[in-house]
A and B are shown apart, each in its own frame.
Chain A
Amino acid sequence: MTPPNDTIAGMIRPVPTPPDSQTNRDLLNVMKGTSSGYWFLLGLSLFFLHLGGAIWVYQVYKGLGIAGYAHPVFWGVYIVTFVFWIGIAHAGTLISAILYLFRAKWRNAINRGAEAMTVFAVLTAAQFLGIHVGRMWKSYFILPYPNQRGLWVNFKSPLLWDTFAISTYATISILFLYVGLIPDIAIARDRATGWKKVLYMVLALGWVGSSKQWKAHNRSVLHLSGLATPLVLSVHSVVSWDFAVALVPGWHTTIFAPYFVAGAIFSGFAMVLTLMIPIRRIFGLEAYITDYHFDNMSRFILLTSIICGYAYVAEYFISWYSGVEAEQTAFWLRAFGPYWISTWVMIICNTVLPQLLWFKKLRVNVPFLFVLSVFINIGMWFERYVIIVSSLSREHNPAVWGEFIPSWPEMGILAGSFGFFCTLFLIFLKLFPIIAIAEMKEIAIHEKVHGAEGAH
């Protein structure tokens, strides 16, 4: 059966383009235009970034002596901040990988933001290792590279395990973020103009959503999730072993790995709330990030808060029960010694305040959650401060006890780290979709399918 030639000729026409889908318009809208508020926030972030950078240059010039390190405390604010940012990173991988494996569909609205947060938090944290050792440009000494001295690194050191854990974590989280972004970059590419079009064309790698591509994509995301799940548990465990393997009272305990992982997820979820609540409000994403999401995140925060609280209690109990005088003294001095403020800030912010989340009304009360998340961030920074500084300043021999007082360069660089993180996040917000569009569409189309079935 051959149709007349004019019929075929009449059918040759470009595929017409109807109005764009609602999901695309809503979510790409976040990337459009920049308000004065955005420039103010970006300016503020850049200011702190440069402030921190300038102080770092000053520290390089003057030496690490300006960093408040004094015998016996040689791990101070930099290590505290390193652990803090690594902890923040963990929620991103938990949301994108573990909840993916559990098929928790509610993650779709927040996973992109959380993954981006992970990448930027790891990058922020990694710098602190360099800042802490002082001569950052010698950081490559930690890698096992062939050198003229014929020496290799010490693979029995937890600090080296950390190097491998952190660099693997950074690589995998960047890959995870990028793989998830490819279909969304293609959506943006089809609608962008100018230099952005060129950028998206390169980054989308020619993605068209063919069956072959989606099949490979699905499989890759599944495998990356499977790999990232044990990875996220291992990374903070390895970080905790930096401490637990040492014989310092207050550090030398087997509870550290699960304790740190729970704390990391706790602080990470709080940071997701701190970031996503303003974004949702400013860009009008109430239809995508709903009470249901806040309720679920609050439950996670409540659960991990209870685990943290259990760990705090268990630490005190074991130090008393062990009968080891150094341990008992270390924990007594945590609560009633020179660092008592930090300890009580940590206990109140991390274990007492989150108990309010038992109330359903507060779990979906967005302003309350925002304030609570900021308190949790503060509390978790102090948790690491308490663990690191109070233990080091009160080791076995009272003759070498000392005090640690954070110096202004340390606090400046801490502020700079927030500037660095926020700068990256704000730039990301304007270049890439902060909510995974393809995943939201998957849900929308599934709903359409069920709607169509219901109508028949």
Chain B
Amino acid sequence: MARLVGIFELPAQVAAAVKQLRGRGYTDLETYAPAPFPEVEDAVDPKPSKVRVLTLIGGLVGVVTGYAMTIWMSNDWQIMVGGKPFASIPPYTIIAFELTILFGGVLTVLGLFIFGGLPKFKIDPAYSSRFSAEDFGLVVRCREQDVAEIDALMRENDAMEVNLVES
């Protein structure tokens, strides 16, 4: 197997190349971008990120924890404060609200780690510091006999360079 890196200047060029490659059945591909560009990300995988599932779970766990903790603790050792019920929902809503945000936020970051594949201990040798400058990279894994075809396709989409890297 060989790995080709195409280097592009503009996001639309990468997105077009990705779409054509996927159309021809090359699905083992990855892009490297210096900044977020939805057209590039959606070309690789059009499905929305699953981070939102974790945010929702975090928020729900937070709101339940907030109410459950305050209500249970108030009833575990009952102390009358200001003639109010032991478990007073209005002030406990503030605690529940804060914990909703806290748990939701923590699980959102956990979602970034899980669905973004972080932390990554081994950096792809095809990655280059150009991709943290202003260039876009498109890495395709393919059979050696397909190299010429992919090379031509990338150049058709205005790739500045196409290189092979050790895989």
Contacts and interface: CB of A to CB of B under 8 A. Distances in A.
A211 B132 contact: no
Contacts of B118: 182, 205-207, 213
Interface stretch (A83-91, A147-155, A288-296): A147-155
B164 A11 contact: yes
B61 interface: no
A187 B69 CA distance: 43
Interface in B110-156: 111-113, 115-124, 126-135, 137, 144-145, 147-149, 151
Given A155-B95, A175-B105, A214 B115 contact: no
A12 B5 CA distance: 10
Of the four ranges (under 10, 10 to 19, 20 to 34, 35 or more), the interface on chain B belongs to 35 or more
Contact of B41 (A154, A214, A452): A214
Contact of A212 (B5, B45, B69): B45
Interface in B79-121: 79, 81-82, 84, 88, 91-92, 94-95, 97-99, 101-102, 104-106, 108-109, 111-113, 115-121
Given A179-B112, A448-B10, A172 B51 contact: no
Contacts, number: 245
B36 A217 contact: yes
Contacts of A449: 10-12
A191 B131 CA distance: 12
A210 B2 contact: no
B39 to A, nearest CB: 10
With a 10 A CB-CB cut-off, give which of A156, A205, A218, A449 has the most chain B CB atoms. A156
B159 interface: no
B36 to A, nearest CB: 4
Nearest to A210: B30
B94 A438 contact: no
A212 B49 CA distance: 8
A444 B77 CA distance: 60
B157 to A, nearest CB: 14
B96 to A, nearest CB: 10
A194 interface: no
B165 interface: yes
Interface string A20-40: 110110000000000000000
Contacts of B164: 8, 11-13
Nearest to A165: B98
B49 A171 contact: no
Interface of B: 2, 5, 7, 9-12, 30-38, 40-41, 43-45, 48-49, 51-52, 55, 59, 69-70, 73-74, 76-77, 79, 81-82, 84, 88, 91-92, 94-95, 97-99, 101-102, 104-106, 108-109, 111-113, 115-124, 126-135, 137, 144-145, 147-149, 151, 161-166
15 contacts: A8-B144, A15-B7, A20-B129, A21-B34, A164-B95, A168-B101, A206-B123, A208-B127, A211-B45, A214-B33, A218-B38, A223-B108, A441-B34, A441-B35, A442-B35
Given A14-B128, A211-B44, 10 more contacts: A168-B105, A172-B102, A183-B35, A212-B117, A214-B37, A215-B49, A218-B36, A230-B101, A449-B11, A452-B10
